[in-house]
A and B are shown apart, each in its own frame.
Chain A
Amino acid sequence: MGLKQSKQISKEALVKKVMAATQTGLPICDHPYQVIAEQVDTTEDELLDIMQDMTSQGLIRRIGLVPNHYALGYRFNLMTVWDVDDSEILRLGTQVGQLSFVSHCYQRPRKAPDWNFNLFAMVHGRSEDEVNRQVETIHQLLGSACGEMAQLNSVKILKKTGLRIRKD
């Protein structure tokens, strides 16, 4: 029992080390996982196992190529925000999140009087027409449960790094 527990604790520590070692990505070489394994003092096999576990647990959302959507021609990236009845937000938010062109969909707090929107949906398209149709689709889906909305076009990327937590 005691042994098992100490192994679990060390596994948690290993997970954190793996996250730190891959924060900026995987190296590009024949054995990338071997390189990471050496950095976190484990074996390639154990690293592959633990990353598989992290994936099943949802800690790793996915492993792969992360495109810059602008470079792929998705020039119209719109943050749409909606004022949805609180009693309907869970049902409708779930439905908006299921639309194929929505990449991120969240409920966030209102900050009256400055900010009355509680539903955020990011939509992406290659033309203005395309995103206009997407916005219209969301509008119709929300129907009368929705008051005002706003569209916030991204004008410029000012910074884009992975999420980091400062460890002093």
Chain B
Amino acid sequence: MCNHQGTQQRKNLQQQEVELTEFEKQLINGYQGDFPLTAEPFQTIADALNTTSEKVQKTISDLLDKGVLTRFGPLYNIEKIDGAFSLCALKVPAQRFDEVTELVNSYVEVAHNYQRDHEWNMWFVLAAESEQALETLFNDITKITGCPGLNLPKQTEFFVGLKFEA
């Protein structure tokens, strides 16, 4: 019954708009934050929305399967604990894009990676245990790919956290 955890990432590359039921919209709009910290959180939601815990669980599970949700659970401000993070970019020749994507994605320290329509065409977030480890990692990636790189750790965080309306 509790086997969904850990399989959440599988369809998260869904990039088409998905048709949603009113109930699905209600869940998405209502619970992007403030998921209850109660012993039976799905029941708490079900009570608020006049439905059953089973329906809430099944709907969330289906939304993950369909790739409408990329994740369900706590979102951490991991920088508060430890580690170093940076937004990095590479300038990748078009004909080598797939090959370089594979190289870059093979690092577990690479989180989000996006192709963008700019001469700096690959943008990814690096996570490492320390500033020094991050620098080493970044140098390693530019060396192994042979592409020019930018390492742009944030200096000031002005805002993080829009909620999307379904």
Binding site for B on A (CB under 8 A): 15-16, 19, 22, 24-35, 44, 48, 51-52, 54-55, 57-75, 79, 89-90, 93-94, 96-98, 100-109, 111, 114-115, 120, 124, 150, 152-167
Contacts and interface: CB of A to CB of B under 8 A. Distances in A.
B161 A62 contact: yes
B109 interface: yes
Contacts of B150: 111, 114-115
B154 to A, nearest CB: 4
Contacts of A27: 2-5
Contacts of A28: 2, 4-5, 42, 57, 60-61, 72
Contacts of B164: 67, 69, 72, 74, 124
A19 B81 contact: yes
A70 B17 contact: yes
Interface of B: 1-6, 8-9, 12-18, 20, 27-28, 31-35, 37-43, 53, 57, 60-61, 63, 66-78, 80-83, 85, 87, 101, 104-105, 108-118, 120-125, 127-129, 148, 150-162, 164-166
Task: Give the one of A65, A101, A102 with max B CB within 10 A.
Answer: A65
Contacts of A32: 2, 41-42
A149 to B, nearest CB: 12
Contacts of B32: 62, 64-67
A159 B111 contact: yes
A56 B74 CA distance: 13
B118 A150 contact: yes
B73 A57 contact: no
A97 B157 CA distance: 9
Given A109-B155, A115-B150, A15 B37 contact: no
Contacts of A25: 4-6, 8, 71-73
A111 B53 CA distance: 52
Nearest to B86: A108
A71 B24 CA distance: 12
A16 B83 CA distance: 12
B40 A163 contact: no
A36 to B, nearest CB: 9
B23 to A, nearest CB: 13
Contacts of A115: 120, 150, 152
Contact of A160 (B70, B73, B128, B161): B70
Contacts of B129: 165-167
Q: Name the 6 nearest CB pairs between A and B, nearest first.
A: A97-B159, A97-B158, A103-B162, A25-B73, A62-B33, A26-B73
A154 B115 contact: yes
B24 to A, nearest CB: 10
Contacts of B28: 65, 67, 72
A166 B109 contact: yes
A102 B162 contact: yes
Given A104-B162, A114-B148, A157-B115, 10 more contacts: A26-B5, A27-B2, A58-B77, A59-B80, A61-B76, A63-B37, A63-B73, A97-B159, A111-B152, A165-B78
Contacts of A48: 37-39
A162 B67 contact: no
